[in-house]
Amino acid sequence: MMNTSSPYVIETQDLNVFYGDFHAVKNVQLRIEKHKITALIGPSGCGKSTVLRCFNRMNDFIPTARIQGRVLFHGKNIYDPDVDPVQVRRRIGMVFQKPNPFPKSIYDNVAWGAKINGFRGDLDQLVEESLRRAALWDEVKDKLDANGYSLSGGQQQRLCIARALAVKPEVILMDEPTSALDPIASLRIEELMVQLAEEYTIIVVTHNMQQAARVSDYTAFFTVDEHRTGYLEEFGPTPEIFTTPKSRITEDYITGRFG
């Protein structure tokens, strides 16, 4: 039985990731709280994306990648042999750094995931609802047949969010969702994240300190050791991390004094 009463949706235990011989991330212990936004920050190459992709088994597609330790989703290790990765990804959706809509119509972009997952309700309604939640409906409601690539970068990213919402996931992983966008579009996505947190658990990787400080409830700071292996340096409520970090390295990084 799933333990739904636990406040933690995702929990990692001694998570280690290797790419071939390279030890990319070591001993990560993280607890992701339900309906909260958790930000993963840290210098480039410290393994933020790697950790994020462990949460919905996207690393399965990298032939050299190897995982040790456990990633619990409601108490169940998603790397257990009896777990279907396809179902994991349905429950834990993902939004990528670069907007990547399918070269299909806006409507099909949103409806596709639902269709393959056996959705039998009213598709039109689902598309509208998802687009509304992604704050895109008003901009595209008259051109649902247009190709997804006819939208602006920021709109494309919101389309990708709508697409992720349409399969009704519990958790949404976002890997630098605003890095390819201009400041205005970024701000809209940030607002959206805050709204979505009412219903979803969100984990977001960002390089933007202000963004992490503005939107997230918890912050995890990663950095690398002398072997360039990433590890979790500090984790806690965002205000604490940004105002009274326990670690010297964290403080240096946040104040911009980092190497």
Partner 1 sequence: MTRERSAPEIHESLRKRPRWGETVIHGLLLVFAGLSIVTTLGIVLVLFSQALHFFARPEVSLARFLTESQWQPQIGHFGILVLINATLLTSLIAMVVALPTGLAIAIYLSEYASHRTRSILKPILEVLAGIPTVVYGYFALTFMTPLLQRLLGRDVVEVFNVASAGMVIGILILPLITSMAEDALSAVPYALREAAYGLGATRLETALKVVTPAAMSGLIAAFVVAISRAIGETMIVAIAAGAGPRNFKSWREALHHLALFNPFKGAETMTGHIVRISGGDISYESIDYDSLFAIGLTLFLITLLLNILSRRIVRRYREVY
Partner 2 sequence: MMSDFPEGQELEQFIKRRRQKGLIWRSLFLLATTLGVLVLMVLLLTILNKTLGYVAVRYRMEPDELVVALYRTIMLDASQTQTLANPADLTRGLAADPDGVGIMARADFEATGQGLRVVPITDLSLQGVVVVVSEANTWLTDLTSLELMRLFTIATTWSELRPEWPQRPIHRWLPPASSPALHAFIAQVYGEDPRTQPTEALVAMLAMHLSPGAMRQIMAEKPLSARTHEDFYQLLVDRVMEPTILETWSFSESILNRKAIQARVAAMPDARLEFRRWITWDFITSPQSSRPEFAGVRTAILGSLWVVFITLLFAIPVGIGAAIYLEEYGSGGWLDQLIESNINNLAGVPSIIYGMLGLAVFVRALEPLTSGSLFGLVDPATSNGRTVLSAGLTLGLLILPLIIINAREAIRAVPQAFREASLGLGATQWQTIWSHVLPNALPGILTGSILAISRAFGETAPLVVVGASTAIFLDPHGPFSKFTVLPIQIYQWTSRPQAAFQNLAAAAIIVLLALLLVMNGLAVYLRHKYRRTY
Ligand X SMILES: Nc1ncnc2c1ncn2[C@@H]1O[C@H](COP(=O)(O)OP(=O)(O)OP(=O)(O)O)[C@@H](O)[C@H]1O
Site pattern 46..65 for Mg ion (x: CB under 5 A): ---x----------------
Rounded CA Rg of the chain? 18
Tokens representing 194? 């805050």
135, 169 contact by CB (below 8 A): no
Q: Residue 195, interface with ligand X (CB under 6 A)?
A: no
Strands (E), 113-214: 171-175, 201-205
Q: How many residues bind partner 2 (CB under 8 A)?
A: 13
Nearer to Mg ion, 47 or 148 (CB): 47
Of the residues 63, 81, 103, 121, which one makes contact with partner 2 according to CB under 8 A: 121
Q: Which does 44 bind (CB under 5 to 8 A by kind): Mg ion, ligand X, partner 1, none?
A: ligand X
Of the residues 47, 113, 154, 230, which one makes contact with partner 1 according to CB under 8 A: 113
User: Is the sign of the CA dihedral 111, 136, 92, 200 positive or negative?
Assistant: negative
3-state secondary structure of 176: coil
State the maximum Cα–Cα separation within the chain, in Å, rounded to a whole number. 55
Nearer to ligand X, 24 or 159 (CB): 24
Beta strand pairing call for 22-33 and 8-19: antiparallel
Nearer to partner 1, 181 or 241 (CB): 181
159, 110 contact by CB (below 8 A): yes
169, 93 contact by CB (below 8 A): yes
Choices 80-88, 93-101, 202-210, 243-251; region in contact with partner 2 by CB under 8 A: 80-88
Site residues for partner 2, window 81-100 (CB under 8 A)? 84, 86-87
User: Which chain residues interact with ligand X by CB under 6 A?
Assistant: 19, 22, 24, 44-50, 62, 64, 228, 230
